[in-house]
Amino acid sequence: MVVSMARIRGVLAVILLGLTVAGCGYNTIPTLEEQAKAKWSDVQNNYQRRADLIPNLVATVQGYAKQEREVLTSVIEARAKATSVRIDASQLTDPEKVKQFQDAQNQLTGALGRLIAVSENYPDLKSNQNFLALQSQLEGTENRIAVARRDYIEAVRAYNTELRTFPGVLWASTFFRSNKPMAEFTASEGSAKPPQVKF
């Protein structure tokens, strides 16, 4: 009977230790890290959606605006560069990699803006149902990108804050030493100024 009582106490001690560890924040850092990585996947998914829409948009504009080859080429090249710059969840702690990804996406955003501005010169194109549908999908995708980026920034803020505040800093300095703060998106250069559209 004494052996079984000691066994029961041991089991109770393990359960109590497990509850204490779970309740004191040990799981917070990995949970927040996984949430930030999931939000990053949403960002990449929405950028990919935009990249997938571009060939159809370019083909539609090409049919109407053959003389705008330079603008169409810049969109195609920017899309190729944006889709070639990849960053996986393990590289989110490298601000330079995140900046390269962001710069490539910003180039594509600028090229798309010029393409849409060019379309204003072609009334038949502006009224084309395919173009209108693609333009609407692109606008919706840009909104999704903004929301996904906002959600990622918030998830990274929560994760980075946990690494630097009590009790997370204790866990980070003992069990999660390899965890580094993740890089956030930053405003692109010149984003404070409204774009100039010239016709």
Write down the pLDDT at residue 167: 87
Q: How far apart are CA 44 and CA 87, in angstroms?
A: 9
What is the rounded average pLDDT for all residues in the chain? Answer: 87
20-33: per-residue pLDDT in tens?
Answer: 655 677 889 999 99
- Please state the pTM of the whole predicted model: 0.79
Please report, as a single letter, which amino acid is at residue 117: A
Domains belonging to the chain, first-starting first, are: 29-174 (1.20.1440.20)
pLDDT one-digit tens code per residue, 142-186: 999 999 999 999 999 999 999 999 889 988 999 999 999 999 887
pLDDT band per the 50, 70, 90 thresholds, residue 188: low
Helix axis angle, 28-64 to 129-164, nearest 10°: 160
Stretch 178-199: mean pLDDT, rounded?
A: 67
Share of the chain above pLDDT 90, in %: 58
pLDDT of residue 195: 45
Sign of CA dihedral 88, 139, 117, 197: negative
Q: How far is CA 92 from the centre of its chain?
A: 10
The mean pLDDT of 117-127, rounded to a whole number, is 86
Alpha carbon of residue 188 to chain centroid: 15
What letter represents residue 103's amino acid?
Answer: D
Map the chain to HEC letters: CHHHHHHHHHHHHHHHHHHHHHHCCCCHHHHHHHHHHHHHHHHHHHHHHHHHHHHHHHHHHHHHCHHHHHHHHHHHHHHHHHHHCCCCHHHCCCHHHHHHHHHHHHHHHHHHHHHHHHHCCCHHHHHCHHHHHHHHHHHHHHHHHHHHHHHHHHHHHHHHHHHHCCCHHHHHHHCCCCCCCCCCCCCCCCCCCCCCCCC
